Amino acid sequence: MPPRDARPLVLTSVVLQRLHDEMPTDHVTIGWLMGRLSKRSFGIIMFLLALVAIAPGVSVIAGLLLVILAFQMIADRPAPVFPRRIAARPLPTRHLAALLLRAVPVLRYLEKVVHPRWPTPPDATKRLVGTVVVILSAALVFVPIPLSNVVPALVIALISLAYLQEDGLLLSIAVLAAVIVVTVELVAIRETVLGAKRIIGL
């Protein structure tokens, strides 16, 4: 199968480090991010939102943005499009800078073992990733169990990294992990509902 791009794949850690170095001093917007990331904007914004979603206080907002992003991947849009109000909303540079400073060293370590292998069809892969992320993002938004956002967010980050690095092996493992996570959370919700019914019945 021919490669997706004849040019060498630029490491995600390098892209994020450049992003950090080019950030304005006061604030950034999602629109600014998308302008700097071009073709890789889906994967990188998805990765950053997944990291943000690990924090309990903002997991619902990040999850909703991930749903928007994922549906656009399923629709095979060339780049993300957010409502103007969201795309132009200013975000303090220091928050994104702190996130990148933590993420880049970890990525540099992971990229020693995450690299292009097991080539997959680009369009089909994009739609698969979008579908899985929609399901995991729904767990972020709707599952009312404390700390239930952490594992789905980590799996989305893993899927994003595999997608960015074109690593079909890691993507397969991450999708399997997503299936397990969703199954466990559905069972947990079912048990919670049954337990509530038993309590009400008493």
pLDDT string in tens for the chain (202-residue length): 444 444 567 788 888 888 888 888 888 888 888 877 766 788 888 998 998 888 877 888 888 889 999 999 999 888 888 888 888 888 888 888 888 888 888 888 888 888 888 888 888 899 999 999 999 988 887 765 666 788 899 999 999 999 988 899 999 999 999 999 888 878 877 777 777 777 776 5
Can you give the pLDDT at residue 20? 87
How high is the pLDDT of residue 3?
A: 45
Does residue 83 sit in helix, strand or coil?
Answer: coil
pLDDT of residue 172: 94
pLDDT for res 202:
57
> Which class for 26: exposed (0-12), middle (13-18), buried (19 or more C-beta within 10 A)?
exposed
Tokens read off for 26:
């006061």
**C-beta pairs of 80-89 under 8 Å, 24+ apart in sequence:** 80/34, 80/41, 80/42, 80/45, 82/30, 82/31, 82/34, 86/30, 87/29, 87/30, 87/31, 87/34, 88/29, 88/31, 89/29, 89/30
Residue 118: its pLDDT value, please? 85
